[in-house]
Amino acid sequence: MSQEERAIRILDALGEAYPDAPQTYLRFENPFQLLIATILSAHTTDKSVNSVTPILFERFSTPKALADAPLDEIKEIIRPVGTFNRKAVYIKETARQIVEEFGGEVPDSIERLARLKGVSRKTANVVLSSALGIDEGIVVDTHVARVTRRLGLSESEKPADIERDLIEILPRKRWREYARLLGAHGRQVCTARKPRCDDCVIRHLCPSAGKV
């Protein structure tokens, strides 16, 4: 069985196992909110981000409002997400760039999103796929990266290299689905410390089953 065939079988099985898995676990109402939430989510949990973003967006609901916000006030609101000093600078500067360089609208390409402060390729892919419905790449977060390596679909430790490997294997129409389903599986079954291989619906397709 080729890598391409195995990847499709994996997606088909996970699609049945997680029909209601969300595209992202971050709460948002528009592309700007998801962009800021994703920047805040670096090295912390989605739960902690979701605890602060309603307060942040109620107080500063637009890019202009956030760009003009006092930095100390932003820091106080986002304190629970960790590394809040740096992240406050990032999101304030990102908001300013959106206003001044992009007419108040969130950019719609990886190349332009990457110009924003604190925006990685992963962040850009999250915003494009989950908020704008654009599949320019594949979201590779910690869960997707871990499960992809265990499945033997990539041997790299670097998200950018993992994404390139996946792009070669998967048809574009399934890129968004891959990130959604692998993310759900990584959270619920193929966890970091103790994967539940006995409960895994793709055990028969995984070279790491029972070995982690």
From the candidates 122, 135, 158, 161, give the one annotated as an active-site residue: 122
Q: What gap in Å lies between CA 152 and CA 154, rounded to an integer? A: 5
- Dihedral sign for Cα 18, 4, 141, 210, please: positive
Active site annotation includes 141? yes
In which region does residue 113 sit, left (phi positive, over 0), alpha (psi from -120 to 50) or beta (all else)? Answer: alpha
Q: Under a CB-based contact definition with an 8 Å cutoff, are residues 183 and 200 in contact?
A: no
User: What DSSP string runs through 97-138?
Assistant: HHHHHSTTS--SSHHHHTTSTT--HHHHHHIIIIIS---SS-
From the candidates 47, 141, 161, 165, give the one annotated as an active-site residue: 141
Q: If DSSP codes are grouped into helix, strand and coil, which group holds residue 83?
A: coil
Question: Which of the residues are catalytic?
Answer: 122, 141
